[in-house]
Amino acid sequence: MSDGPYKSLPMKQSWRDVCERAHKEAFTEQERAQSMCVALHKDFLREVGKDYLMAIGNVLVDQQQGNLLSDLKNFEIDAIRYKFTQSPLRDALSEHIHAALYDGFSGERAIVEAVQRTAIDHGLSHIRQIEEHYKRDARDHNEQQKVISVRENLTRTLETDQVGKFGQEIVRLIRGEAVVSRLVKASGLDDGPELR
């Protein structure tokens, strides 16, 4: 495993950053969660798109304000879905929006719930991919233990409160509010990892 299989991970740089933080024990849970939120954020913006999120937001906020009949919201969401090119993440989000509406969520709360469900599914698929990559490179017992450690760190990160609020971040983005979409890396001695 030399300097860490996260360097050769066939994923976007943001997910390699997530993996590096899971690999190195010096990173805190908060730093790991921040990197996962940034990776999810970049994937949502690239694969789902801000235009799609704004369109869905407009429909569900109108529905929340009583401007759209409840029966029409699913039709409107499907119309928006087919207006955009297909993307697995966008399609998954659309399905989760329908499920959230079916479960009784409405308006912004439906968006938060759907984004959260989609983010969890998306995160779990990346965790599986990372684990498989590590398993291929594991040659001895210590490296096999590192596979388990990285998987557990990633799973714990996905379950953190910070990642759990990712749906709310997307709603803030839809509203036009500023959200953190860049990873803040330590650059000086004072910015280094916590001493434990």
**Radius of gyration over every alpha carbon of the chain, rounded to an integer in angstroms:** 19
pLDDT band at 76 (very low <50, low <70, confident <90, very high): confident
Q: What distance lies between CA 145 and its chain's CA centroid?
A: 26
Question: Which tens digit of pLDDT belongs to each residue from 20-46?
Answer: 999 998 999 999 999 999 999 999 999
Instruction: Give CA angle at 53 (59, 72), nearest 5°.
Output: 20
Question: Which tens digit of pLDDT belongs to each residue from 146-157?
Answer: 889 999 999 999
Which residues are CB-neighbours of 21 under 8 A, at least 6 positions away? 27, 31, 32, 35, 153, 157
CA distances from 41 to 9, 18, 78, 82, 169 (A): 19, 13, 23, 23, 9
Question: Where are the chain's structural domains?
Answer: 53-116
Q: Is the pLDDT of residue 62 over 70?
A: no
Q: Do residues 38 and 180 make contact, with C-beta atoms less than 8 angstroms apart?
A: yes
pLDDT for 128: 94
The average pLDDT across 97-119 equals 93
Q: Is the pLDDT of residue 74 over 80?
A: no
Higher pLDDT: 8 or 174? It is 174
